[in-house]
């Protein structure tokens, strides 16, 4: 018997969300725009995750 939770598959591939981290305030967020901006401070100094 295999116990444990079932598989968790999220169909995220349809949406090209990318995860970013703001270098100014260290907030992580997801965005799908070409020019993502931090929703907190508006910085565009982002690192892709
Ligand atoms: Zn920020």
Q: What is the pLDDT of residues 15-34, one digit of tens each?
A: 678 999 999 999 999 998 88
Q: What local confidence, expressed as pLDDT, does residue 12 receive?
A: 55
Quick: pLDDT tens for 29-48. Answer: 999 888 899 999 999 999 99
pLDDT of residue 42: 97
CB 45 within 8 A of CB 35: no
At residue 21, the pLDDT reads: 97
Task: Count Cα atoms within 13 angstroms, Cβ side, for 15.
Answer: 10
pLDDT surpasses 80 at 6:
no
Which residues are near ligand 1, the ion (C-beta closer than 5 Å)? 22, 24-25, 27, 38, 40-41, 43
Question: Ligand 1 centre and the CA of 37: distance in Å?
Answer: 8
Per-domain residue ranges of the chain: 18-48
Which residue, 38, 7, 12, 11, is CA-closest to 25?
A: 38
Per-residue model confidence (pLDDT) at position 28: 96
* Structure token pair of residue 43: 């910085």
Number of helices and strands (H, E) in the chain?
Answer: 0, 3
Q: Strand, coil or helix: what is 30?
A: strand
């Amino acid at each position: 018997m295999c116990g444990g939770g079932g598989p968790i598959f999220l169909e995220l591939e349809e949406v090209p969300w990318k995860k970013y981290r703001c270098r100014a305030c260290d907030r992580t967020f997801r965005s799908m725009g070409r020019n993502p901006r931090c929703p907190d401070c508006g910085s565009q100094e982002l690192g892709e995750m």
